[in-house]
Amino acid sequence: MKKILKPMAIGMFAEMWSELSEKEKQLIIDNADSVNIQFDSDIGVNKNSEIGHAATVGNTKDIDALAEYYGIIEFLKETGGEKTVPVDLLGSEFTDIDVNEVSVAPVLEMFMRTEEWDKLKEVLTYIGEEDKYREIKNRWETINNNWDKTVNTARGSLLDADGDYSVPLVDNIGGMLNDGDVLVTCNRKKAWVIAGDWSHGGIFSEDLYSNKDKDRSYCVYTAEPGTYNEDYKPENDTDPDRWGVACLETIYAYTKAKRFAVLHPKNYSTETAEKAVEAAKTIYYDTKAPYHLPIQELIWLGDTSHDLTKNNTYCTKVAYTAWKKNGVDLDADNFVGNLVSPDEIYGSSIRRTFTLKISILWWSYTKTWVTYEPTTTVLVEKYR
């Protein structure tokens, strides 16, 4: 693990055991057949988030949809089990990886997310589970179709000719932001290609924000896929200043969307923030670092996402590197292998705990571990 030690049950039990009295230990030993052990994970959800609001008002549609999503992920884990597949089976883009075999479950998940159905079927056939192909594809398409219906119904007349929202979730917010704040967004209900709720992110530069242009200012360092063209000119206020490389975007590129949030690093100082923004500028923007998402890192093959260089530049790597070089780790390490996804960035604001309870007869003992301490706080979160 890079940062957070996820507690293993044996280690946790050993730590708890050391805290018991000799009398309590003997009680457990004498009644071993009757001992009950319970585990419980918990996260602190922002009450202003979409899921938090849904739970508060009793709207279970979003929660049900999350259950559908995590249900298919568990199905993939059950299908893959402890099996592995040779890297050669994954495609030519993985041939330079210095391992021979990889676990099946994350491979199935990767090909499902990217909808490379022929490759998914090939892997299933290799492990003797080809009969699962139709179910996996149907469940994934059903999940996406359900979300698309929700999105299209909600967007309606708010869409402009380019398919973006014409009305921002919040206007003229740039003047309220702090130098180095991190913005995340998603123009769909869910960012299924990667994971979770968010699909894109960047780091805000106070110096580049203009009181004249306000949220149309090109003031967010990030990176976008596409083809680089020196003669390119943005056509609307949600386009980046260039495609295919590290770029600058407007705040409207984040607020004219389905969801939007601003994350503020803890232990913040203006001096550290200036250095973080400068790192984003000099490492990525000034060098026109080419955009490339290392999809193999979704299944833990390689780890350029944390190398703090311009190798394999993508949107949230820009923000992650900028702050990591200045002492703040934005990677919550709870999604998508070694990629630093937008959900990892948002997850850096959520406290995670793990509780172990042992009980026998009339006696019980409970201990809670903090498995992730937030490194950011959510300043703003809006959604449609």
Distances from the Cα of 227 to the Cαs of 245, 290, 316, in angstroms?
A: 8, 10, 19
Following CA atoms 337, 342, 348, 349 in sequence, which dihedral angle do they give, to the nearest 10 degrees?
A: -150
**115 vs 190 pLDDT, higher one:** 115
- pTM, entire model: 0.76
Question: How confident is the model at residue 64, as a pLDDT?
Answer: 67
Comparing 304 with 13, which gets the higher pLDDT?
Answer: 304
The answer to whether 310 and 295 have CB atoms below 8 angstroms apart is no
Please name the amino acid found at residue 196. G
Distance separating alpha carbons of residues 284 and 325, to the nearest angstrom = 13
Q: What integer pLDDT is reported at residue 41 of this predicted model?
A: 62
Per-residue 3-state assignment (H helix, E strand, C coil) for the chain? CCCCCCCCHHHHHHHHHHHCCHHHHHHHHHCHHHCEEEEEEEECCCCCCHHHHHHHHCCCHHHHHHHHHHHHHHHHHHHHCCCEEEHHHHCHHHCCCCCCEEEHHHHHHHHHHCCCHHHHHHHHHHCCCHHHHHHHHHHHHHHHHHHHHHHHHHHHHHECCCCCECCCCCCCCHHHCCCCCEEEEECCCCCCCCCCCCCEEEEECCCCCCCCCHHHCEEEEEECCCCCCCCCCCCCCCCCCCCCEEEEEECHHHHCCCEEEEEEECCCCHHHHHHHHHHHHHHHHCCCCEECCCHHHHHCCCCHHHCCCCCCECHHHHHHHHHHCCCCCCCCCCCCCCCCCHHHHHHCCCCEEEEEEEEECCEEEEEEEEEECCCEEEEEEEEC
Model confidence over 6-51: pLDDT tens digits? 445 667 778 888 899 999 889 888 888 888 877 766 555 555 555 5
CA atoms within 13 A on the CB side of 379: 17
User: For residue 351, what pLDDT is reported?
Assistant: 85
- In degrees and rounded to multiples of 5, residue 221 shows phi and psi of -80, 130
Q: Is 309 left (phi over 0), alpha (psi -120 to 50) or beta?
A: beta
Q: Are 309 and 214 in contact (CB under 8 A)?
A: no
Amino acid at 236: N
| Predicted local distance difference test score (pLDDT) of residue 92 | 67
Distance CA 139, CA 153 (A): 21
CA–CA separation, 178 and 27 (whole Å): 56
What is the per-residue pLDDT for 176?
A: 93
What are phi and psi for residue 328, nearest 5 degrees?
-120, 125
Q: Which two three-digit tokens encode residue 223?
A: 């990176």
pLDDT band at 77 (very low <50, low <70, confident <90, very high): confident
Predicted pLDDT at 191:
46
Contact status, residue 367 vs residue 356, Cβ threshold 8 Å: yes
Task: For 149-197, write each residue's pLDDT tens digit.
Answer: 444 444 444 555 555 678 898 989 999 999 999 999 987 544 444 446 7
Give the pLDDT mean for 232-245.
95
Is 70 exceeded by the pLDDT of residue 94? Answer: no
Average pLDDT over residues 288-298: 89
